[in-house]
Amino acid sequence: MEIFGAILFFATIVLPLLFQILFGSGIIPFNRKIPFGVVCIISVPLWFGAYYLGAKILSHQLKQINSHDGMPFVGLMIYMSLIAIATVITMLIQLAFKYKKQRQGCR
């Protein structure tokens, strides 16, 4: 696998989690124009898009080395599932901090 292809592959897969961490965390302590719910809603299609792009990049890389084995796609599915779980956990933690901060502001 080319080094550029490998970097692009992993960057594409981690992009939804990074988006949620950076924009979700930035929205909670500061009152910005993008609501937290919108960031969460954007994160879900971004995850599906990253999965599609990751599969396309992996398919292209496998064609270059003339491999017909489907096992790398199983690894991609497992890795993307872990990224999805981490993204959901991140959303829940950020939501808990948001509600805690709102509750403290009401007192």
The mean pLDDT value for 9-19 works out to 81
* Residues spanned by the domain of 64: 3-106
Q: Is 25:94 a contact under the CB 8 Å cutoff?
A: yes
pLDDT digits over 40-99, tens only?
A: 888 888 888 888 888 888 888 888 888 777 788 888 888 888 888 988 898 888 888 888
Secondary structure (3-state) at 83: helix
Counting the structural domains of the chain, the total is 1
pLDDT (0 to 100) of residue 76: 81
Q: How many CB atoms lie within 10 A of CB 28?
A: 21
**DSSP secondary-structure letter at 39?**
H
The mean pLDDT value for 4-23 works out to 79
